[in-house]
Amino acid sequence: MFQNLRLTMAWLHTWFGLVLGFVLMVVFFFGALSVFDREIDRWAIPETRFEPQPMPSFDKVLRPVFESMQPDPGQIELARSRVDGPMATHFPVAKTWGAYTTHRDPVLGVFAGFELPNAKDPDDIIWGTRTIDPRTGKTLPDDQLKIGSQFFYPLHYSLNINWRELGTWIVGFAALVMLVALVSGVIVHRKLFRELFTFRPGKNTQRSVLDLHNLTGVVALPFHFVFAFSGLLIFGGTYFPIGHTQLKPLHDLHEVLESQETGLPHERAGVPGRLASVDAMMAEAQRRWQARGMAGEVGFLTVRHVGDANAYVSIYRAGTDRIALTGEGIHFNAATGEVMREDPPPTVAQHINTFLTGLHLQHFRHWTLRWLYLMGGLLGCVCIATGFLFFVEKRKRQHAAQGLRGARWVDGFAVSAVTGMLVAALAMLVANRLLPADLPGRGDWEQYAFWAAWALALAHGLWRTAPVAQARIAPAWAEQCLAVAVLAVAAVLLNWVTTGDHLGRTLAAGYWPVAGVDLFLLGAAAMAFLAARALRRRSGVPSASAAANAPSRSEAARA
Amino acid sequence: MRDALMLLAAQAANIAGLAWLALAMPAHWEQVCGRSACHPRAARLLRAVGAGALAVSLLLCMAVDHPSMASLVWVMSLAAAALAVAFTLAWRPHWLRVLVRLSRG
Amino acid sequence: MAAPPVSRLNIAVRIGAAVLGGYAFTWGFIALSVALLFAARMEFHDAETLATIVGLLLFVAAFLWAFAARSVAIVWTVLAGGGALMAGAATLVQRALT
């Protein structure tokens, strides 16, 4: 595009990085929080603050729950456009029952997929979900939002914009641009190895911000690249639904062949069938894994063609001690409990796939690696945020001199995307503690609190970055940092007041999910407070700091 | 407990290893030692010791976990170590003087 | 980059090439790879995985090329045209198999 490659790559990195950076900020931050999504759930739903439980008895606990399930009302609404004629009120045929648990789950999520009467697509399924206490089989109310796994986590891969999966597409495009930004960044950064450890906080703002941007981008370069790439791979079927469109005939051929090869029926027989003891099947599965030298817990189980003579039960081992999510599947005839098939060892392609997806989805037990992942995600956030700051710093004097307002608006949106996002997340946690416990639709109110707080932060951010148009530091940053500090401390105090689980108690009991969240909040508050103080000091004496930073240009702008 | 100690040792080895590699660069040698140049033989020694420390760290990680996890732990630990070395060079470069003495002795 | 010597139209066309052309090329590549690998007796989902991994990397490369290349017309021809050709070939392979 330009005279040389480096100029073109710099242009590409700057402009695509700037625009998609706002989306990537959300993806990286809430992705980082999602490493501890289940722990955040424990903090948000005090009734679930007990120890993680293994998969409970199917026959005594899960079967009654499954038999009483129906599709979620929200799913029924979404499915209205997928039926010809009236929407059914009862869904008698369950295609699938499933339960999934990890070493971090006290409560168990179960799901059931039902045939959709009058569906346009005969293979269409409509889903219902429940959360139960595995010790008793009691269902938890729907109103309790799992802020970690049901809000922060989907926010990071779909922005919670579910209309025709638009949010997932936006995040996918942002991930592609992230990869482009990483490659173009490496091409532009000539002294990548020589400046690997270079960070000069004492120099002018533009230089130290760029140093930090390069540092956080390069030291975690494999992390940033592999996470963006593996995220795209996980949703590959959404972005390139080739097997369900152009190559559907080939896909259907494969399903028939696979069904013949594995002996697992692809269709219902249309004849009712009984369900034998699934607990006995789970015990048999665990015995077989042990015999192979891979003793383990049941991580995932499904029942297919529920209630039919062709029904089969699939039991998978939890991948707690390795990168793959689950594996070593064993399939049982539902009526007789006989083993129909043991999954063969994974192919090379399956190994690559489970490694990349398992690396991203992290269901393994390794607390050190989890904390390192959190660090990686936050480094990504710092990289993006310093990118914004560098963009503004580089241009604000020039724009002030020319009466342009570009830098001023970018700074406004940047503060909303960085500190504003933190304010929104914290406001949600505070609302979670303040709202009445029995408020109907409590989860919805918590979400409104999140978006409303962000909107307020946006308005504040846009208003209080006006000084950037005169090449000064915006007070918005320090003010929002202070808000972050106050909200974070408030959240910890409210947890104490409303649940009694203060740090003294949770640390003494060793209940790390809640103690960890409280400690992280306090750490964040401390950093935000120090940042606010440092920013206030920097902008408090304009002429002195300007002389230290860039003497001739800023004074000319002010004249 | 043993696993935790080995992972801590792996992290320390990564920090030392990257610090030695950084010291082999003239700009950082100056920051830490004040002198303008580092003898080329000393720089080669620093690079060798640095690489060795990173290898030791990888072995320690492999002793704790399944190889697929150990390699991830090592790569992420490298990132943390690089950050630590960069911040130390920026704010407390004299802390790394002990590593110069260690590389010789 | 206060006043780039490149016209707005050129930039728009390059963005189109990168996004739309890149997508078409990647779709065609994945479709043809899956069809050929399946024809060579690889399991369907394994073929999809491998094809998607390589396809995504190609998409990144195509995106960069759309801006780095001197002639944006060549980029459009290769990406959109190549994508269409590969997709067409994939359907032919599918017809032969089903």
Write the DSSP string, A382-405.
HHHHHHHHHHHHHHHHHHHHHT--
> How close is the nearest chain A Cα to the Cα of C2, in Å?
9
pLDDT for position A121: 84
The domain segmentation of chain B, as residue ranges, is: 2-104
Chains C and A are in contact, defined as 3 or more C-beta pairs closer than 8 angstroms:
yes
Q: Which residue of C has its CA nearest to A180?
A: C60
**Could you tell me how many CB contacts below 8 A there are between chain A and chain B?**
70
| Chains B, C in contact, 3 or more Cβ pairs below 8 Å | no
DSSP string, A464-519: TTGGGGGTPPPHHHHHHHHHHHHHHHHHHHHHHHHH---HHHHHHHT-HHHHHHHH
pLDDT digits (tens, 9 = 90+) for A167-203: 999 999 999 999 999 999 999 998 898 899 999 998 8
Q: CB distance from A233 to chain C under 8 Å? A: yes
Q: Are A199 and B86 a contacting pair at CB < 8 A?
A: yes
Of C1, C35, C91, the CB nearest to A11: C1
Q: List CB contacts (< 8 A) between C38 and chain A.
A: 250, 254
ipTM: 0.95
Q: Contact A368/B90, CB-based, under 8 Å?
A: no
Nearest CA in chain A to B31: A198
| Rounded alpha-carbon distances, angstroms, from residue B62 to A122, A222, A319, A326, A336 | 50, 19, 18, 22, 44
Query: Using the beta-carbon criterion (under 8 Å), do C2 and A398 form an inter-chain contact?
Result: yes
Subunit contact C10:A1, Cβ cutoff 8 A: yes
pLDDT of residue A550: 46
- Dist CA A509 CA A540 (whole Å): 46
Q: Which of A280, A304, A330 is nearest to A111 (CA)?
A: A304
Q: Is the pLDDT of residue B37 over 80?
A: no
Name subunits touching B (3+ CB pairs < 8 A): A
Please indicate whether, in this complex, the C-beta atoms of A236 and C90 are within 8 angstroms of each other.
Answer: no
Is the Cβ pair A247, C90 closer than 8 Å? Answer: yes
Contact residues, chain A, for B78 at CB < 8 Å: 219
Q: Do C46 and A350 touch (CB under 8 A)?
A: yes
Strands A312-318 and A326-333: antiparallel
Structure tokens at A497: 């007041």
Contact assignment for A246 to C31 by CB distance below 8 Å: yes
pLDDT at res. C41: 92
Q: Which 3-state string (H, E, C) describes A88-105? A: CCCCCCEEEEEEECCCCC
- Put simply, the answer to whether B73 touches A372 (Cβ < 8 Å) is yes
One-letter amino acid at A475 equals: P
The per-residue pLDDT for A554 is 41
Per-residue pLDDT of A443-472, as tens digits, reads: 999 999 999 999 999 999 999 988 888 888
Q: What is the pLDDT of residues A36-78, one digit of tens each?
A: 999 999 999 998 999 999 999 999 999 999 999 999 988 888 8
Mean pLDDT by 10 residues, chain A (559 residues): 91 96 97 96 93 92 93 87 86 93 91 91 89 91 88 96 92 98 94 91 90 96 97 96 94 91 89 93 95 90 94 92 84 94 92 93 91 96 96 89 88 94 97 91 94 96 90 91 96 94 91 94 96 86 45 44
Residues of A numbered 346-365 whose beta carbons fall under 8 angstroms of chain C's beta carbons: which are they? 347, 349-350, 352-353, 356
The token duo for B21 is 């590699």
User: Would you call B87 and A199 a contact, using CB atoms and an 8 Å cutoff?
Assistant: yes
**What DSSP element (H or E) covers A339?**
strand A339-342
Does the CB of A403 have a partner CB in chain C at under 8 Å? no
pLDDT computed for residue A400 by the predictor: 85
Once rounded to an integer, what is the mean pLDDT over residues B34-60? 90
**Which of B28, B76, B78 is facing A197, going by the closest CB pair?**
B28
Q: How far is A23 from chain B (nearest CA, A)?
A: 24
Q: In this predicted structure, what is the pLDDT of residue A556?
A: 43
Instruction: Give pLDDT, residue A87.
Output: 86
Contacts of A319 in chain B (CB under 8 A): none
Distance of CA A346 to the CA centre of its chain: 27
Place of tokens 């060793």: A510
Q: pTM higher than 0.80 for the full model?
A: yes
Size of interface A-C (CB pairs under 8 A): 103
Regions in chain C scoring below 50 on pLDDT? 1-3
Q: Which has the closest alpha carbon to A484: A449, A421, A528? A: A528
d(CA C86, nearest CA chain A) in Å = 12
Can you give the pLDDT at residue B105? 66
Chain C: residues touching A (Cβ < 8 Å): 1-2, 4-6, 10-11, 14, 19, 26-27, 30-31, 34-35, 38, 42-50, 52-53, 55-56, 59-60, 63-64, 67-68, 87, 90-91, 94, 97-98
Contacts of A355 in chain B (CB under 8 A): 68
Burial bucket for residue A470 (CB in 10 Å: 0-12, 13-18, 19+): middle
Nearest CA in chain B to A197: B86
Q: Do C52 and A240 touch (CB under 8 A)?
A: yes
Closest CA–CA distance from residue A18 to any residue of chain C (Å): 14
CA of A55: how far to CAs of A69, A144, A146, A278, C38, in Å? 19, 22, 20, 12, 37
Chain C residues with beta carbon closer than 8 angstroms to that of A1: 6, 10-11, 14, 67-68
Kindly report the backbone phi and psi dihedral angles of residue A52, in degrees, each rounded to the nearest multiple of 5, phi listed first: -55, 145
Contacts of A180 (CB under 8 A, 6+ apart): A12, A13, A16, C60, C63, C64
The CA distance from B83 to the nearest CA of chain A, in Å, is: 7
- pLDDT at A294 (0 to 100): 87
Task: Give residue A546's pLDDT.
Answer: 44
A176 neighbourhood in chain C, CB within 8 Å: 56, 59-60, 63
Distance, CA of A113 to CA of A69 (rounded, Å): 10
